[in-house]
Structure 1
Amino acid sequence: MQKTINWLLNIVILVSVVFSINILSQRMTAEHNFTNIQVAVRYQDILHIIEYTDYELDEVLDIFLELGVNNITVEENVLLPEYYSVSNAKDFVTSDLARGYIDIVKEEEYRLVIEAIDEVTLDRIYDNLVTKGVTVTRDGDYLNIFSQRPYKNLTQLGTGFDIEALTYLANRGFEISPEIRGFTSYSEYGIQTLIDQLEQIPNLGHLLFDGTRIPAYTEANMIKFAREYGFAYMEFFSDTQEGYITLSRRIEQDGVYNVIRMFSPDKLSHIKASGILDTLELALVERNVRAFGFVLPNTGGVEKDFETLQDEISGFVESALGFGYTLDTDIEMKGWPVASRKQLLVIGLGAVAMFMKIIAMTQFAIIGYLAGIGGTLYYVALLLSSKIDAMQSMAFVTTVVFSSYGVLLCIDPPKKKSLTLALMHYCKITLVTFMGIAIMAALISEYSFAIGVNLYKGVKASHVLPLIIVAGMIIVTRWKEIVEEVKKLLKINWKYLVGFGILGVFVVYTVVTIYVSRTGNTTQIPELEALLRATLDDTLGIRPRTKEFMIGHPFMILGLYMSYKGFRWPVLVVGTIGQLSMINTFAHIHTPLIVSGIRTGYGIAMGVIIGIGFIIVYEVVTKIISKVISRWNIKLT
C-alpha cells in the first residue's frame, strides 16, 4: 500500500514539475525578448550645464542624442530654491525664482508677495499651490502667498511644470518623465489639475515620484493616470515610499503591471554619480533593470563634470549594446506569465506530495498523509481567498521540503568510501533540488514579485528549517545507531571528549551564526570576501554564491564520501546549506532565470572541485589523527 502511495506521490511531483517548466519557459521567453533599454538624464543637469558653461541648449541636447540618451527626467518646479530656507543650493535650477519665472515683491513674516513673468506662469503657480493646501490670493498681477518665514513649504511643494520648455525637449526626440514632488494636502480637483497639466506634455513617459510618500496614491484619477503611463520602481528607493505597493496593485490589470525598474544614483547617497559602470552593468544583466538615469557629478568644475557624464553614458551604452540590448523608450515588460489558480494548484501539490514523502520516512506516515490532505484543502481555500498569500506560502514550503528530501535519501553511509559513489549521490540530491527550484520559481514568477510589490517570505526561516529537518530526521529515524555511536565516544578519555566537544560546539555555533547573519542583502561583508567576490565577478562575469561553493557543496560531497556515521551525519547537515541556497537563488525573481542558472552552475562546478579538495584533506588529516589516537589507545570502532 505504501509503495502505491509513494508512486502516486511521485507522479504528482512530476506533473507539478512539468507545469512549472511550462510557466518558467514563458518567463524565460519574456526575459529573452526584454532587450530594450532607456538612458535618461536630468533636466536640472541640462540647465546647470548651460548656466555655467558656454554650451547652448541645442548643443547639449545634440550631444546627449548622439550618445544614445532617449529620456529626460524632469523634477517638478518649486517656488523658492532650497537655499532660501536652509542655506543649501541643491537643485537650485528647479525653482521658479532661480529660473527667473517670478520676482519677489515683498517678504513678510506670514506673507510672501510675488509677480510672474506672464499670466500662464501666474496661473500655474496659483493652481498648484492652492490645490495643495496653501492659502493664496490674487491681486491683479501679484500673488499673496500666506506662509511663515522662512517659507520652508514653498521650497518643497511643487508648482507644476514648464510645459513650453518640455514640449521643446519632446519635439527634439526625447521622452519626458515627470518627477512629481510629494504633498499630503490635496483635493480631487487639485490632483486632476496636475494630471491635466502633465497630459499637455508630448511624448510623455513613465512617472517618477519624489519624497517618502507617493501623493494621492488612493485617488481614482491618479490610479487611472499611472495605469496609462506607468511609473518607475527606483532601485533601493521606491520600496521605502509610502503608497508604492498600494498604487502598484491598483494599476494591475490581469496580472500586468505598468511598472518599470529604474536605476539612478539620483536618490542614492551611497552611490557616486561617476565611476559606477560595473554597478550599472550589474543592474542591467542581473536585476532586469531597463531604465538608467545618469546624474551630473558635482566636483565644482561643471565643464569637466559634463565631460565625465558623457564618458559614463558612452561607456554604459557601448557595453549594453555589446550585450545585445537595444536603445528604445518602449521598455514595458511584455509576455510575463500569469499563472491561473488551477495551474498554481497543480504546481503547489508537488510541494505537498514531497512533504508527505518526508513524513513517510518515519513511523508516522499516516499522520503525514492526513496532514498532506489537510494542507491541500487549506491551500485550495487560500488560493480562492488570497492568491498571493497562497503562492508565497507554498513557495516557502517547497524550498524547505525539497532542499531536505534529497539529503535524507542519502544519509546512510556506504560500506566502503567511494568518490564515484559520493558524486553519484550528490547528483541525485541536486536533481531533487532542481525539481524544487522549478516548482518554487513557478509559484512566484508573477511580475509583481520582480518589482517588489510582493515578496518571497520566510527567507531567514527557509535557511534554517531544512537544517533542522535533516538533523531531526536523522535523530528520529536513526536513534538506535546514534546511541551506539555515543557509547563508542564515551569510551574515549573524558578529558579529550570534553575538549573535542567544546571545540565542536564553538565551531558549529560560529558557522551557524555567520551563515544566518549573512543571509539576505543587509549584512556588511568582510574585506577578504569582498575581494573574492570582485575577483569572481571579473573572472566569471556572474558570481556564484559563496555559501554554495565554499560551504554547502563541498561539505555535502565530503559528507557523502564519509563512511563513519558519527562524522557523516553532521557534515551532511552542513552540506544541506548548498541545496537550500540554490533554491533561494531562484527566489530572486528580479534576476533573469538564465543568470540564476549560470550562477548556480558555477557554484556546483566550483563546489565539486573544492569538495574533492576537502576529501583529500580529510584523508590526510584522518591518517594523522589515527596515528595520534593509536598512541592514546582510543578505539572508535
Structure 2
Amino acid sequence: MYRYWNLRTPKLLWILTLIGMLCALPLVYARHETETSTKNVEFVFDYRDLLDIADMKADPKAFVDGELGKMKDAGIGSLAVYESTLQELKESRRIDVFSAHEAASLTQGPVNPGNNFTYVVFTEPDTQPVLQAMITDTFTSLGVPTRPWTYKGQPGLIIEMGVDEASLKPMDPDPFTMQKLKAQGFHLVVRLSNRRPFDAQKMDKLLAELQKLGVTRIIVDGDEVPGYGETSTANLGKMAYMLRAHGIGLAAIELLKTPQKGFSTLAKDTFYNVVRLHSFTEKDGEKLTETGLKKSELDTRIQGVADRFVLAVKDRNIRMVFLNAKPGKNIDKGVITDPLNALYASLNGPDGAVKRVQSLGFQLAPAKPFQIDEMAAWQKVARVFILLGGVALIALTVSYFLPQTALGLFVIGTIGAIGLRVLSGSLYAQGLALAVAICAPTLAVMLAIRRVQSGRAAAAKSQLGYALLELVRSSLISLIGVVYVVSLLNNITYMLVLQQFRGVSLLHLVPIALIAVYLLFFSEKLTAKQRVARLRTMLAFNINVLWVIIAVLVLAGGYYYLSRTGNEGQASGFELLFRSFLENVLQVRPRSKEFLFAHPVFLLGAYLAVKHRSAAYLYIIAVMGQLSIVDTFCHLHTPLHISLIRITYGVVFGTLIGLVFIAVWKLAARSWKRWSSLLRE
C-alpha cells in the first residue's frame, strides 16, 4: 500500500508546491506594498559635531550660523540634538565652566586643597534661570550638592564634583538650542541615552516638550535604550507607552557590532514606529580631510560618498542618513580642517546624492515608518498552503536521492513543521525558509541533470536553443524558492533587520555539495551496492601530484568563493571600482558571480551536454548561479523590485557572456581538431 501511494506522491508534491507558491504570491505583493509605503528620506547632521568644529573658529557663533545656511542649501533638513552636558553648554557659549584652581585664579583667592568643585558662570541673562534650574535638578538627582555663586556680578553655580566628571553628566537637551534650530526651519531629531536614572514623570515631561517642538523620532545614544534594565522590563513598557502617546518613533542604526539593549522590545511595543538609519561616522569624515590628498583623489572620494548614500537609500531601505564630522589638523599647512564642504559636495554636487535620490522617486522630508497591514483572514489560510507547499518542495528534492521516502518524509515533515510553528513561529519560518532556499536551486539543477541522463538533451534539435531554455527553466524553478522565502519571512522585523535570517551561509555550500553527490551516486540507475562500490573505488584512488594540485586549486577557489560571500565578503580594489561602474551605469548592480561566471558556465554545460553527457559535471559549478538567485532575495532589507532587477540583469548578461563562452569553446574545439590532424600527418 505504501509503495503504491509513494509512487504517486511526486506528482502530488509538485501540485502542492505550485499551490503553495500561488498562495504565497499575495504575501510577496504585501511585502512590496509595505516597503514602498514611504518615500521620505531624511539627512540629519550631528549638531554637537558642528559645535566642536565651531569651538576652534575665531567667531564660533557666526561660523555656526553660516554653516546652518549651507546645510539647508545642501539638502540637510534635520539636526540631531543630544542630551546636554556642561561641555556642550559651554561650546554653545551659554555658560563658562571652571575648575577649582581656575576659579581661585579668577577671584584671586587662595587655593583650597579640599576643594575640587566645578564652577559655572551663566553668560546669558535670558537663559540663566532655565539652565540653572536644569543643572541644579540634574545634580541634585545624583546626590551632588549645588549652591549659588557669582563672579563679577554674573550669576553662577558651584557643583560639588570634579569638573571632568561633572562635564560628563547628561541633562535634558538644551531647550534654547532646539527653539533656535526649529525657528531656522530645521526638523529636530533627539538622541536620548540610558545614562540617567529613569524617571517616568520627568521623561514624560521631556517627551511632551519634544512633541511641541515637532520631534517625531529619537535616536538611541549608547548601548541601551532609555528605560532598559537588566532585571526588569517595566520601565521599557512605560517608555514605549510614552513614545506612542507623544507620536515619537525610533531609528535603528544599521551595522552595529552589537544590538542596542532593549531596542527590539521598545520597537515592538511602539508598533514598529522605526526607520533604518545609515551612519556616516567621524572616521568616514577623516578620509575627506587626509593630509596630502590631491583634488582628483578628493573628488573621487566625494563621489564615493554620494554613491554610498544613494545605495543605502535605494538598496537597503534606509530612510535616515546621519552625518558626522569632526575637526582635524593639517600640520603641513598649519590649519584646522573639517569635512563639511566635502560633505555638502557629496550631497548637492553635480552628481550628488540628493538629486539622484529624488530622481528615484524619493523626497527630502522627515523619515516615516513603513505602513504594516494587519494579517487578514485569507493570509492565515494562505499560510497553511505555504506550509504544505514548502514541506512538499523539500520532500520532492529528497525523493530524487531516496525515492522510497517521498510520502513518509512529507507526512513526517508536515507534522514536524506544524509542531515547530506552535513551539516558535520565528524558528519555524526561518527553518522552513532556509530548507526551501537550499532545495529550490538544488532541485532546479537536478532536473537539468536528469534531462541529460535520460537522453532528452541529446534529442534537442538545437544545442543553443536547448541551453537557453535550460537556463530559463532552472531559474524559474529557483524563483519558486524565492517566493516561499519572501512569504515565510514577510515580517517587518526582517525588513528593519531587528531580526536576522540565520543559517543563510549554508545556502552557499549545501546545494553545491548535493549536486556533486547526486551526479556521482544518484543520477544514474545504481543499486545501493553499486553506489557503495563506487564510493570505495573513489576512496581507493591513487593520489598523485596532479590530484594534489587539483585539490589545492579547488580549496583555493572555495576559499575565494566564501570570502566573497555575504555582507562581510571581501572584494579587491579593482572589483570595487567595477561594482561602482555597474551601479552608476545600470542603477542596480547584478551579482558578479552570476553573470560573469555561474550562468555562463551553466549555459556552456547545457550546450555541451546535448552531445556529451559528461558535461553535466559543469552543473556542480553552475549551481552557484541558481543558489545566488535565491540568496539575493534572502537580503530581506533590500526592496523586492531591486532584487528582481538584479537577478534579471544577472541572467541576461550571464546569457550574453555564456554565448561568448560557447563561441570560444567552438573555436578552441575546431583549432584542436586541426592541430591534432596536423600532428597525425
TM range (shorter): 0.7 to 0.9
1:71 aligns with 2:71: no
Confirm whether residue 281 of structure 1 aligns to residue 285 of structure 2.
no
**2:215 aligned residue:** 204
Contact 1:213 1:241 in 2 (8 A): yes
In structure 1, the residue matched to 2:46 is: 42
Matches within 5 A, 1:562-601: 562-563=608-609, 567-601=614-648
Is residue 275–residue 367 contact of structure 2 (8 Å, CA) maintained in 1? no
Whole-Å separation in 1 of the counterparts to 2:114 and 2:495: 50
Q: Matched residues in 2 for 1:357 and 1:480: separation?
A: 18
The corresponding residue for 2:332 is none
Structure 1 counterpart of 2:298: none
Which residue of 178, 197, 207 maps to 1:166? 178
Q: How does 1:319-398 map to 2 (within 5 A)?
A: 319-335=356-372, 342-362=381-401, 364-398=402-436
Change over 3 Å in CA distance of 1:407–1:182 after alignment to 2 = same
Match of 1:248 among 267, 282, 290: 267
Larger Rg: 2
Residue deviations 1:590-625 (CA, integer Å, cap 9, x gap): 111111111111111111122222223333445566
Q: Partners in 2 of 1:79 and 1:34 — Cα distance? A: 39
Identify which of 75, 96, 100 aligns with 1:106: 100
Deviations 1:486-511 (A, max 9, x none): 99xx9xxx99x946544433332222
Corresponding residue to 2:663 among 616, 619, 622: 616
- 1:91 counterpart residue number: none
C-alpha contact (below 8 Å) 1:239/1:452 kept by paired residues? no
Could you tell me how far apart the structure 1 residues matched to 2:140 and 2:269 are? 27
In structure 2, distance between residues paired with 1:161 and 1:236: 27
Query: Do residues 311 (structure 1) and 345 (structure 2) align?
Result: yes
Correspondence for 1:554 among 560, 585, 600: 600
Amino acid at match of 1:537: E
Deviation at 1:569, TM superposition (A): 3.5
What letter is aligned with 2:133?
D
| Counterparts of residues 189-228 of structure 1 (less than 5 Å) | 189=199, 192-201=201-210, 202-217=213-228, 218=233, 219=235, 220-227=237-244, 228=247
Distance 1:44 1:150, change over 3 A: closer
Pair 1:250–1:368, CA change in 2 (3 A): farther
Whole-Å separation in 2 of the counterparts to 1:96 and 1:34? 39
SS at match of 1:74: strand
Aligned-partner Cα distance in 2 for 1:625–1:129: 87
* CA shift for structure 1 position 303: 9.8
Letter in 1 for 2:626: Q
Q: Cα offset for 1:565?
A: 6.3
Matched, 1:415 2:458: yes
Question: Partner amino acid for 1:114?
Answer: Y
C-alpha change, 1:164 and 1:561, in structure 2 (3 Å) is same
1:539-564 residue CA offsets vs partner (Å, 9 max, x unmatched): 22211111211222112112222337
Alignment length (residue pairs)? 601
Structure 1 stretches of 5 or more lacking a match?
Answer: 81-93
- The separation in 2 between residues aligned to 1:540 and 1:392, in whole angstroms, is 32
- Aligned AA (2:143): T
Q: For residues 625 and 16 of structure 1, do their structure 2 counterparts lie closer, same or farther at Cα, with a shift above 3 Å needed?
A: same
Q: Residues 144 and 344 (structure 1 numbering): CA distance in 2 closer, same or farther, change over 3 Å?
A: farther
Q: Does 1:135 align with 2:143?
A: yes
TM-score by length of 1: 0.84
Gaps in structure 2 of 5+ consecutive residues? 102-112, 123-127, 150-155, 289-300, 330-334
Give the structure 1 partner of residue 562 of structure 2.
Answer: 516
Contact 1:76 1:159 in 2 (8 A): yes
Q: How far apart are the structure 2 equivalents of 1:272 and 1:21?
A: 45
Aligned equivalents of 1:98 and 1:28: distance in 2? 45
CA 1:9 to 1:40, structure 2 compared with 1: closer, same or farther past 3 Å? same
Task: Name the aligned partner's letter for residue 130 of structure 2.
Answer: V
Q: Distance in 1 between matches of 2:215 and 2:12?
A: 56
Report how far residue 523 of structure 1 moved: 3.1
Whole-angstrom distance in 2 between the partners of 1:32 and 1:308: 31
**Structure 1 residues 631 and 213, CA gap change in structure 2 (3 angstroms):** farther
1:58 CA drift (Å) = 6.1
CA distance in 1, matches of 2:552, 2:257: 41
Q: How far apart, CA to CA, are the structure 2 residues paired with 1:76 and 1:10?
A: 59
State whether residues 313 and 319 of structure 2, in contact with CA within 8 Å, keep that contact through their aligned partners in structure 1: yes
Q: What is the alpha-carbon distance in structure 2 between the residues aligned to residue 599 and residue 180 of structure 1? A: 39
Which amino acid is 2:239 matched to?
Answer: M
Q: Deviations over 1:533-590 (max 9, x none)?
A: 2222232221111121122211211222233767424310111111111111011121
| TM-fit CA distance, 1:244 | 3.0
Of residues 16, 19, 22, the one that matches 2:23 is: 19
Tell me what 1:121 maps to: 131
- Counterpart-to-counterpart distance in 2, 1:416 and 1:110: 97
Q: Report how far residue 471 of structure 1 moved.
A: 1.8
* Alpha-carbon distance in 1 for matches of 2:407, 2:254: 44
The change in CA–CA distance for 1:21 and 1:450 in structure 2 (over 3 A counts) is same
Q: Distance in 2 between matches of 1:542 and 1:271?
A: 29
Residue in 2 aligned with 1:86? none
Contact 1:176 1:204 (C-alpha < 8 Å) held by counterparts: yes
2:499 maps to amino acid:
N
- Tell me the distance in 2 between the aligned counterparts of 1:445 and 1:295: 33
Structure 1 SS opposite 2:660: helix
